[in-house]
Structure 1
Amino acid sequence: MIHEIATITIDPAQAAEFEAAVGKARPYFEAAAGYVSFALQKSIENAGRYLLIVGWESVDAHMVNFRNSDGFQVWRSLVGGFFVSPPSVEHTLAVI
């Protein structure tokens, strides 16, 4: 399993609306082939900064299956308007 970690920055005044939109988008991740887990974490020190952490069976499950799905388009339509800048996305693999 790998993790997609997206660092997302929004206007802190829109936090409640953003979190609700992510909640609406979550089922589209869960429906994707290769989906494993989902978490949205809010920074304590940096208002408006979030980490979206999604577990996938492989990088392709994220980059091919999900990114090419209608669910990805719904995700972006629900939350894209909140982004102050494009999210930074990387994939990680547990080593210990």
Structure 2
Amino acid sequence: MILEAVMLQVKPGMEKEYESAFIEASTIISSMKGYISHELQRCLEVKGKYLLIVNWETLEDHTVGFRQSKEYLEWKKRLHHFYDPFPVVEHFEMVNLNN
């Protein structure tokens, strides 16, 4: 499993609108091949800051299957205009701590 983590900064005053748009857009990402789950966390200290976490079966399910799809174009249309600055997407894998 691959964890996609994205720190998002939403433009001031657009937080409620963003959260509503995100809920609607969630149906897009959750329908994609390799999608496992996602959550959006609101920062308590910094207004307009969010953490998006998405679990994918493989890295390619996100970077190719989703990011190169027509569904991603709709995702962008619904959400990307809220961000300033534009977020950096990072991917993580579990570290096996059981030698």
**Which TM-score band (shorter chain)?**
over 0.9
In structure 1, distance between residues paired with 2:90 and 2:8: 12
Partner of 2:20: 20
Runs of 4+ in 1 over 3 A off after TM superposition: none
Partner of 2:78: 78
Pairwise CA RMSD: 1.0
The CA deviation at 1:13 is: 1.3
The CA deviation at 1:11 is: 2.1
In structure 2, runs of 5+ residues without a counterpart are none
Partner of 1:44: 44
In structure 2, distance between residues paired with 1:91 and 1:72: 18
Partner of 1:87: 87
More helix by share: 1
Question: How many residues get paired?
Answer: 96
Partner of 2:33: 33
In structure 1, runs of 5+ residues without a counterpart are none
The CA deviation at 1:12 is: 3.6
1:88 partner amino acid: V
- Per the normalisation by structure 2, the TM-score is 0.91
Residues 51-80 of structure 1: per-residue CA shift (max 9 Å, x gap): 111100011000000001111111110011
